[in-house]
Structure 1
Amino acid sequence: MADLDGRVIAVTGAASGIGRALALALARRGARLALADRDAEGLAETARLLGNFPAITRAFDVTDHAALAAFVEAAAAEWNGLDGIINNAGLSVVAPFADCPREDFDRVMAVNFTAVVEGTRLALPHLRARGSGWIVNISSVFGMMGYPTQSAYNASKFAVRGFTEALALELAVTDPGIAVIRVHPGGVKTRVARNAKQIARLPGTPADLDAAAEFEKAARTTPEAAAEAIVRGMEERRHRILIGPDARFIDWMVRLFPETHFRRIGLFLGGGQRR
């Protein structure tokens, strides 16, 4: 198994949820951390929870590519190199495609996909200089199946999946020491549903439906369990990580019923979105 002790890992979206849990899980294994999020207060709380573990923090929006580049370079400068990046920052909007403003759709793509590509682009030269390392990109179960009112989120997470699969195949040839990992969480008990911008619903949706509450009720995995699964996957140098029983169930259903899976598992999914 790969040893994370002393390795330098950058994590985006580290102010809460899976990102914060990842910081704590990596610290327990002795990693040195560079943590980023647009939420400065949440990021400061993550740093407080880390105590004396070696970490640097930067508050910025991952769509600011100059700030993202400065973050990666600061991590490498702090510890004379970089061993991995976990592109975790993400968001969602809730709207049928016809009702989703262009700027909201584009914002989801910029955060969930373009920033993943840019983070990977910036980290890769440092990992090549090391000769080994990790690129971990967070997709979703919604990177395996479509879901109504989630066209932007679906598009971004399918894109992360495709990009990461292609990169894994390429680096297996050119840089086999670099593990490229795609992660498909199912329902994780974070605030992603509460924080999603609610724009519009499908016709016929009950007016009193609280989609975020439905998501939270259906979510089966804690951020801590999700982070442990990701970090174990890094240690084992796996290429795909499914998080939670719902993710494994959806994976099988999509494989077994490629045309009818949504009708079969729609009720299982409930009213929220998965991260």
Structure 2
Amino acid sequence: MTKTVLITGCSSGLGRMTAIHFASQGWNVIATMRKPEPELAENHPGRVLVHPLDVSDRQSVDTAIAAGVEHFGGLDAIVNNAGITMLSVFEATPAEAFRRIFETNVFGVVNVIQSALPHLRQRARSTIVNVSSGVGFAAVPLLSAYVASKHAIEGLSESLSYELESQNIGIKLVEPGAMRNTNFTATGMSASEAAVVPEGYKTYFDHALQSMINYPFASTDEKSVAEAIYAAASDSSGRLRYVVGPDVEEYARLRWSTSEDHYLAEMSRLTGQSAWREMAK
């Protein structure tokens, strides 16, 4: 029987590539986005259903899932990919910006999972894939709201991995590294332009931003992440985490294979924090 997956955030970038990859592997795809673009369905006739979905609107989520289930006859997996970010100094990050990020990155995931669960439980085995990030377990500066939202997804996913085992539903976390020159990055930078940098932070902000520009790792490509998402959705084992990218592989090694002191020292070096301390002396 052909499997069906619902994917959020398919208008561009990783979500779009993931939808195409699942379709190319013979899956039915419910490709959702806030403003539907029919091209995906036109390029994969009979295989892809494009439907509007705003993860922050539970009614919109329910409607999209119901339409997808009616169209394809069931649901075997969901991929929570939709997300937003913002680069800012925490002290000057507006509360509404924090809430907006959590509304999409956390409560949006909650909405989709809760709406999908009654359908997923009807399958003998189904899967939920939550697209997190390397910063979900290894924090970096200037991304406090985004980092906090991804830490929330990491905790939610691990807790659900135990709870939903009773329903034969697997939970997977895909943790990509930094993907440069993507629509996600561009949107995040656009939102960041509106954030004020307080005078006392300007020197530090410029240094931290330059450290991001001079990132010591190669960029993670979207194709590799899409393939990892597909592998996670297809994996019936109890594995929880799928790290993708040279930076996240190193972060994972430091986080879970070394001491806390060594981890913090190395992360300070990789993020430019230790260099800042020397400059500030």
Aligned pair in 2 of structure 1 residues 261, 61: CA closer, same or farther (>3 Å)?
A: same
- Report the count of equivalent residues: 262
* 2-structure distance, mates of 1:20, 1:215: 28
Q: CA RMSD in A?
A: 2.5
1:182 lines up with 2:182 in the alignment: no
Residue 130 (structure 1) aligned to one of 108, 123, 126: 123
* 1-structure distance, mates of 2:140, 2:266: 13
Q: Which has the higher helix share?
A: 2
Q: How far did 1:216 drift?
A: 8.8
Q: Deviations over 1:125-164 (max 9, x none)?
A: 1011122111111111111022222111111100101001
Correspondence list, 1:170-249, <5 A: 170-172=163-165, 174-176=166-168, 178-189=169-180, 190-196=182-188, 197-198=191-192, 199-201=195-197, 202-205=201-204, 214=213, 218-237=217-236, 238-249=239-250
Name 1:92's counterpart in structure 2.
Answer: 85
Aligned pair in 2 of structure 1 residues 27, 258: CA closer, same or farther (>3 Å)?
A: same
Is the contact between residue 40 and residue 50 of structure 2 (CA under 8 Å) also seen in structure 1? no
* 1-structure distance, mates of 2:53, 2:73: 23
Q: Deviations over 1:88-134 (max 9, x none)?
A: 00011111221111110000001001111111111111011122111
Is the contact between residue 113 and residue 159 of structure 1 (CA under 8 Å) also seen in structure 2? yes
Which AA in structure 2 matches 1:195? T
Is the contact between residue 188 and residue 226 of structure 1 (CA under 8 Å) also seen in structure 2? no
Q: Deviations over 1:24-50 (max 9, x none)?
A: 11011111111111244xx434344x4
1:64 lines up with 2:57 in the alignment: yes
Which AA in structure 2 matches 1:56? L
Aligned pair in 2 of structure 1 residues 209, 259: CA closer, same or farther (>3 Å)?
A: closer
Is the contact between residue 193 and residue 215 of structure 1 (CA under 8 Å) also seen in structure 2? no
Q: Deviations over 1:192-235 (max 9, x none)?
A: 22211111444314659877982899552211111112212222
* Bigger mean CA deviation after superposition, 247-256 or 213-222: 213-222
What is the TM-score normalised by the length of structure 1? 0.86
* 2-structure distance, mates of 1:34, 1:12: 9
Which AA in structure 1 matches 2:52? A
* 2-structure distance, mates of 1:131, 1:250: 35
1:148 lines up with 2:141 in the alignment: yes
Q: Which runs of 5+ in 1 are unaligned?
A: none
Aligned pair in 2 of structure 1 residues 26, 51: CA closer, same or farther (>3 Å)?
A: same
* 1-structure distance, mates of 2:183, 2:214: 10
* Bigger mean CA deviation after superposition, 262-271 or 178-187: 262-271
Aligned pair in 2 of structure 1 residues 89, 19: CA closer, same or farther (>3 Å)?
A: same
Is the contact between residue 183 and residue 240 of structure 1 (CA under 8 Å) also seen in structure 2? yes
Aligned-partner SS, 1:57: strand
* 2-structure distance, mates of 1:208, 1:248: 25
* 1-structure distance, mates of 2:91, 2:8: 31
Aligned-partner SS, 2:29: strand
**Higher Cα Rg: structure 1 or 2?**
2
Is the contact between residue 88 and residue 138 of structure 1 (CA under 8 Å) also seen in structure 2? yes
Percentage identity across paired residues of the two chains: 29
Is the contact between residue 132 and residue 150 of structure 2 (CA under 8 Å) also seen in structure 1? yes
Q: Which runs of 5+ in 2 are unaligned?
A: 274-281
Name 1:158's counterpart in structure 2.
Answer: 151
Which AA in structure 1 matches 2:92? D
* Bigger mean CA deviation after superposition, 188-197 or 150-159: 188-197
1:46 lines up with 2:37 in the alignment: no
